Amino acid sequence: MRLLVTGAAGFIGSNFAHWWLARHPEDSVVAFDLLTYAGDRRNLEGLDPERLTFVEGDIADLELCERVIAGEACDVVVNFAAESHNSLAVVDPGRFFRTNVLGTQALCEAAKRVGVQRFHHVSTCEVYGDLPLDTDESFTEESPYRPRTPYNASKAGADHAVRSYHETFGLPVTITNCANNYGARQFPEKVIPLFLTNALEDRELPLYASTQNRREWLHVDDHCLAIELVLEKGRVGETYNVGSGDERSIMELADLILELTGKPQSLKTIVPDRPGHDRRYLLDSTKIRRELGWAPTVSFEDGLRTTVEWYRANPEWWEPLRERAPVRETAWR
């Protein structure tokens, strides 16, 4: 099988390319990426050049997408390509709607024209909105979409576009909505690598003022396993929530990272919440566990420990990226 993996030079996309090629020795991957500030060709180093083809391009470029899918004889499209940083979406929402909605629609159209076997779209828990802190509620696949930020809304729009191509044109789609991912090779604007790299350099860790807001954390390897199972056994037209069930507040997260890096609590500093700061996300992943036999394999403690070790061992990877980050989390007013 030959897969087109969009956003393949980013965090989750590159981890998926490594995962798939290691586990499917007969398959090959076309890695498609626009190489924005968060994309890095180094994330694909070590992969067999006989089995990996890199194409620099924009998923909003319909003609290019169609030409690549057809010319490279891709059987499956896995769409990770997205603008994904909530803080940047507050500053520049237009780029999120262009890439995440119009880009996803163009990619669907290209896949429809060529006739792929499967179009898998990677989405987020954030399309459902947020949950109160004082309940044990969780989102199911039937929960209504109530996005609260431009990023969340753009991903919700992308999900609707994908479903419309299935219902209207018969495009064989699947969708996964995942919890917050973490692991190696994550751009240091996201909270875990931001806190890690700041701690390693004795810089302040900027905690939003709502320090008890919680997130559900999913190791990127467990996410890759879930997508693999959906591609192999998932029902066409279905959506699957992918969540670990492990929630941590931003304060708990900072404390764990300071403990693992051996740094003092005094590095924690409180900054104003960004606009539209969601309180809590938690996914009910019963469906994928029951239907496909998926379950997380990496505990948060073990996964965070190995992530700390990776960033500690690879400063030459993340140090040049720090200055690329387009938003300062301490700048909200």
Dump pLDDT digits (tens) for 233-265. 999 999 999 999 999 999 999 999 999 999 999
- Whole-angstrom distance, CA of residue 137 vs CA of residue 214: 13
Assess whether pLDDT exceeds 60 at residue 333: no
Nearest to 106 by CA among 50, 165, 187: 165
Work out the widest C-alpha separation in the chain, in whole angstroms.
57
Question: Taking the CA of residue 242 as centre, how many other CA atoms within 13 Å lie in the half-sphere pointing to its CB?
Answer: 32
Instruction: Give pLDDT tens digits for 81-126.
Output: 999 998 899 999 999 999 999 999 999 999 999 999 999 999 999 9
Whole-model pTM above 0.75?
A: yes
- pLDDT bin (cut points 50, 70, 90) of residue 223 is very high
Q: What is the DSSP string of 142-182?
A: TSPP---SHHHHHHHHHHHHHHHHHHHH---EEEEEE-EEE
Nearest to 78 by CA among 193, 189, 234, 184: 234
Per the CB < 8 A criterion, the answer to whether 149 and 124 are in contact is: no
Per the CB < 8 A criterion, the answer to whether 7 and 80 are in contact is: yes
List alpha helices for the chain, DSSP H. Answer: 11-23, 62-71, 86-91, 93-96, 104-114, 150-169, 191-200, 220-233, 250-261, 286-292, 300-313, 315-318
- The fraction of the chain above a pLDDT of 70, given in percent, is 98
In this structure, CATH architecture of domain 184-215+246-280+298-324: Alpha-Beta Complex (3.90)
Q: What's the pLDDT score for residue 323?
A: 84
- The fraction of the chain above a pLDDT of 90, given in percent, is 91
Instruction: Give pLDDT tens digits for 293-319.
Output: 999 999 999 999 999 999 999 999 999
Classified as helix, coil or strand, 208 is strand
The H or E element spanning position 119 is strand 118-124
Q: For the chain, first and last CA: distance in Å?
A: 50
Beta-carbon contacts of residue 327 (< 8 Å; ≥ 6 apart): 85, 87, 88, 90, 91, 189
> Could you tell me the two tokens for 182?
């973490």
Whether the CA torsion 153, 159, 162, 165 is positive or negative: it is negative
Q: Where are the domains of the chain?
A: 2-181+218-242, 184-215+246-280+298-324
Assess whether pLDDT exceeds 70 at residue 330: no
Q: What is the DSSP string of 224-280?
A: HHHHHHHHHHPPTT-EEEE----EEEHHHHHHHHHHHHT--GGGEEEEPPPTT---B
Instruction: Give pLDDT tens digits for 169-189.
Output: 999 999 999 999 999 999 999
- Whole-angstrom distance, CA of residue 225 vs CA of residue 241: 13
Per the CB < 8 A criterion, the answer to whether 107 and 65 are in contact is: yes
- Residue the block writes with tokens 């030959």: 2
Assess whether pLDDT exceeds 90 at residue 325: no
Q: What's the pLDDT score for residue 56?
A: 98
What fold does the segment set 2-181+218-242 form as a domain?
Rossmann fold (3.40.50)
Q: What mean pLDDT is reported for the chain?
A: 96
